[in-house]
Structure 1
Amino acid sequence: MTAAIDFYFDFSSPYGYFASTRIDDLAQKYGRNVAWHPILLGVVFKTTGASPLPQLPLKGDYSWRDFERTARFHGIEYKRPTHFPLPTTHAARAMLWLQNHHGDDLAAVFARSVYRALFVDDINIAEPAEIMKLAEPLGVDVQALDAGATSYQIKDQLKAEIEVAMAKGVFGSPFVIVDGEPFWGFDRFDQVEAHLKSRRQTELRAVPNLDTKEKKPA
């Protein structure tokens, strides 16, 4: 079976949001599934020494301009959030709980709704109550979700999964690993597609032509 695309993201990442609107369609086009992995850039930055782009001198003003320009270029709905940067720990833990108890598909729906809440509806997703409101339409037990998201089990799981991600070389959001090949940034999605296309062509060439019958000697 063809390997899934590993998609790493932080809910506070604008480029991660843009990527979240494209990753599933891109994967489906080439017969792949997507494994969604929430991470916390704050944890990663302690190792890399990086900071959120809008907080950096000179780069900050440019980044805000580029967020809006990128959204326009790709036709993605976007509104500059009032609450930014902000912690996304509760959202990430809630997603892990949903993956554990309701499966990857519903968790991905939740992830997209959280991203939209921040970057379209300007909702403060750092507030646990707002995260629970976003989960309600999914038909899950929000009390169980809220309790699960604050449990030691989920806290330890998120910590462990971030450590695994960093061990694989993940250092930003969005970050895609496909067939062992790493790609950082939404602006690398053309390269991701080129890789998927090349791998698909290689796989098709390896499949024997079942319509070709061996000719018998006259």
Structure 2
Amino acid sequence: MTSTIDYFFAPHSPWTYLGHARLVAMAEAAGATVRLKPMDLNQVFPVSGGLPLAKRAPQRQAYRLVELARFARHLQLPLNLQPRFFPVDGNAAARLILAVEAAHGTPQALAFAGRAMAAVWAQERDIADAAVLGGLLTEQGLPTTSLIDAAQGPEVQQRYEAFTQEAIASHVFGAPTYVVDGEMFWGQDRLDFVERALSR
């Protein structure tokens, strides 16, 4: 029986970026199906006890930087701790990921999601800028105008809102969250447990 991974994420989350490539590789190795479920953290946080970064206590903000640097070194991933365009609104990128999936399938959407995350954290690009998003599509060999138009349409917006509400109803409280056959794992540092769940 093929496992299913519900992948709740936000494309501007550094923790999602740190875990994305590993999740994709794990899913491929296990033959698992990934269901992309981008969510709006601005809606998730208020009902789950989370706080936007700027509202967190100074000691929490400081330790976040320590952990980001630690994991980036461990995973050998490029990461700017305080990128030029952050905080950034990730909603446009999230909707575009859904538009890519609808038109070109989940593998292309996963690849584009990875590009969007790297744009923020490795390349210091503004993923709230339509021109930047268009450039990322072009780099992946995807059509620009049709996908950006689709991302702004009501069907994509409805899917994005539905995934956000599903996250809230499922007691998801942060990004990334992976749900493997009904079992929840929060954070890229739980991917070892995700891998074990996939092997069962």
TM-score (norm 1): 0.85
Separation of aligned partners in 2, 1:6 and 1:156: 18
Match of residue 28 from structure 2? 28
The answer (yes or no) to whether the contact 1:54–1:61 under 8 Å persists in 2 is: no
CA shift for structure 1 position 82? 1.7
Separation of aligned partners in 2, 1:118 and 1:29: 27
CA shift for structure 1 position 131? 0.8
Percent of pairs identical after alignment?
A: 32
Match of residue 209 from structure 1? none
CA shift for structure 1 position 55? 4.2
Any idea what the Cα deviations from partners look like across 1:23-60, whole Å, max 9, x if unmatched? 01122333323222211211111212312346411101
Separation of aligned partners in 1, 2:30 and 2:142: 31
Separation of aligned partners in 1, 2:70 and 2:52: 18
SS in 2 for 1:5: strand
Flag as ranges the 4+ runs of structure 1 deviating above 6 A.
none
Any idea what the Cα deviations from partners look like across 1:159-179, whole Å, max 9, x if unmatched? 112112222222211100001
Give the number of the structure with larger relative contact order, counting CA–CA contacts within 8 Å between residues 6 or more apart: 2
- Quickly say closer, same or farther: Cα 1:26–1:54, change in 2 above 3 A: farther
Match of residue 144 from structure 1? 146
The answer (yes or no) to whether the contact 1:53–1:63 under 8 Å persists in 2 is: no
The 5 A counterparts of 1:172-183 are: 172-183=174-185
Match of residue 203 from structure 1? none
Separation of aligned partners in 1, 2:180 and 2:47: 24
Match of residue 206 from structure 1? none
2:53 corresponds to 1:46: no
The answer (yes or no) to whether the contact 2:48–2:171 under 8 Å persists in 1 is: no
The 5 A counterparts of 1:1-218 are: 1-53=1-53, 55-57=55-57, 58-80=59-81, 81-197=83-199, 199=200
SS in 1 for 2:95: helix
Q: Which runs of 5+ in 1 are unaligned?
A: 200-218
The answer (yes or no) to whether the contact 1:79–1:119 under 8 Å persists in 2 is: yes
CA shift for structure 1 position 112? 0.7
Paired AA for residue 51 in structure 2: S
TM-score (norm 2): 0.92
CA shift for structure 1 position 119? 0.8
CA shift for structure 1 position 191? 1.7
Larger Rg, first or second structure (1 or 2)? 1
Separation of aligned partners in 1, 2:76 and 2:33: 24
